[in-house]
Amino acid sequence: MARNITPKEKNYSDWYLDVIRAAELADYAPVRGCMVIRPNGYGIWENIQAVFDRGFKETGHVNAYFPLLIPNSFMEREAQHVEGFAPECAVVTHAGGEELEEPYVIRPTSETIIGHMYSQWVQSWRDLPILINQWCNVIRWEKRPRLFLRTSEFLWQEGHTAHATRDEAFDETFKILGVYRDTMRKELALPVLYGEKSENERFPGADNTYSCEAMMSDKRALQAGTSHFLGQNFARAFDISFQDKNGERAYAWTTSWGVSARLIGAIIMTHSDNDGLVLPPRVAPVKAVIIPISSDEDILRGKLEPAAEKLSRETDAALGGMYSKVDRQYHTRPADRFFRHLQRGVPVRVEIGAKEFADGEVTIVRRDTSGRERVSMGECAARVKVLLADIQQNLYDRAKAFRDANTHDVDNMDDLKKFFSPEGKGGFARVYFAGTPEDEGEIKYVTGGATIRCMPLDDESRGKCVYTGKPEGRRAILAKAY
């Protein structure tokens, strides 16, 4: 059944939630701040998992699993880390009908318990590097939940590596940042910027944090993924030490990195429209739907449905997987069937009616532009494959053009305040920054919430700081963010 969707121009927050409901991606759970991911939403997550997991394994990483519960004493070993996560932690104090001798924290992230295990496994430089990733859930108690973007429990991957030298760990941090950037651009059609986080935005306990930042269709930023160079902070806290090649005792250098199911939120807010969900074909659970249409039961069952099944098999063979389906919801009107798949973000719709069948043709409709074309049944599968590649590229190009059109150079604080005012342009402000964390905090205050999203790694230019006026400020992207 089709659902009404609030126009994004009227109320962006309501539009976002309406798209999720209409596409049957998720619902709020009876547990405060949590959500239930429905099959259509989970199918997107499975495809996101697959493309990132392939990238991790191609760069030498392997998957493992670590416990959900972390001893509270572990969290307290790295002071900056525990301070950063303390307000978000959920703590188990009772189990088996008894009060626990030591409380357990439900993992907000796993640096501490993985650090403990690495300390058991690493004795010599020959034991390094360790390149492990895990796919799991975490709990960060969220006061203002929003489906996919911020929920108390969410799905993600967290990679944790340990190395013998600083250079190896630093290279790892950038290697993963590159995997994130390339996968988001190619597979999710997200034209992300990538760069270093400011001190205020750095991961608790990290020496450096690097991120991929995307612009949503309301011109706000979304942090799409982060890669952290942890230095030796966690290695010292958890005694991840080893005998180096010179026979001396040394601490390992570690990294951690992660992306989460908020990428589904990023896809929604980057590509979708007022009709509903728009999905990049590479991560769409169903890439093409074939819809037989006739009021004559004999023609429908005897001719059109078998033809649709044949088209589905041919399409799957062309695409190299089970990516198409036949719509058999014959009890509903054709227009309602079309609109249901449109709202669910299916990239391509193939219509076959009695007249098309008699002509040996089908009608193909693409979701991103609503473009229609007639092709022969024999050409359908090949044409669908071409259209899916074109849709994927079009979504990326469209999102990049939007980001570029809403990125502006700003040179002084007066213009910056105007830029982020209700009457201002909004979007990404390209500035130079050479201030302190306190200066950054003041910028956030006077702009109503704009923060340094990253300092781009592909722009090494220097200039006059927008806040202090000092020369040699680093290029930075300022934006209001989710």
| HEC per residue, 240-293 | CEEECCCCCEEECEEEEEEEECHHHHHHHHHHCECCECCCCHHHCCCCEEEEEE
**Range(s) of the domain holding residue 461:** 407-479
Domain holding 211: CATH number? Answer: 3.30.930.10
Q: Please tell me whether residues 350 and 205 are part of one structural domain.
A: no
Q: Are 215 and 402 in contact (CB under 8 A)?
A: yes
Does 7 reside within a domain? no
Q: Please tell me whether residues 306 and 233 are part of one structural domain.
A: no
The strand pairing partners of 462, in sequence order, are: 474
Q: Please tell me whether residues 263 and 381 are part of one structural domain.
A: no
Q: Please tell me whether residues 193 and 338 are part of one structural domain.
A: no
How many domains is the chain partitioned into structurally?
Answer: 3
Q: Please tell me whether residues 322 and 370 are part of one structural domain.
A: yes
Q: Please tell me whether residues 227 and 335 are part of one structural domain.
A: no
d(CA 177, CA 456): 12
Rg over alpha carbons for the chain, rounded to the nearest Å, is 25
φ, ψ of residue 347 to 5 degrees: the values are -65, -35
Q: Please tell me whether residues 114 and 199 are part of one structural domain.
A: yes
Q: Please tell me whether residues 253 and 211 are part of one structural domain.
A: yes
Helix (H, G, I), strand (E, B) or coil at 442: helix
Q: Are 181 and 454 in contact (CB under 8 A)?
A: no
Instruction: Return the structure tokens found at 67.
Output: 């416990």
Q: Please tell me whether residues 369 and 461 are part of one structural domain.
A: no
* Tens-digit pLDDT string for the chain (482 aa): 567 999 999 999 999 999 999 999 999 999 999 999 999 999 999 999 999 999 999 999 999 999 999 999 998 887 666 676 777 899 999 999 999 999 999 999 999 999 999 999 999 999 999 999 999 999 999 888 999 999 999 999 999 999 999 999 999 999 999 999 999 999 999 999 999 999 999 999 999 999 999 999 999 999 999 999 999 999 999 999 999 999 999 999 999 999 999 999 999 999 999 999 999 999 999 999 999 999 999 999 999 999 999 999 999 999 999 999 999 999 999 999 999 999 999 999 999 999 999 999 999 999 999 999 999 999 999 999 999 999 999 999 999 999 999 999 999 999 999 999 999 999 999 999 999 999 999 999 999 999 999 999 999 999 999 999 999 999 999 999 99
Does 315 reside within a domain? yes
Which H helix or E strand runs over 71? strand 69-71
Q: Judging by DSSP bridges, how do beta strands 407-409 and 428-433 pair with one another?
A: parallel
Domain holding 427: CATH number? Answer: 3.30.110.30
Does 86 reside within a domain? yes
Q: Please tell me whether residues 451 and 431 are part of one structural domain.
A: yes
Does 58 reside within a domain? yes
Instruction: Return the structure tokens found at 12.
Output: 């962006």
Q: Please tell me whether residues 163 and 265 are part of one structural domain.
A: yes
Q: Please tell me whether residues 127 and 37 are part of one structural domain.
A: yes
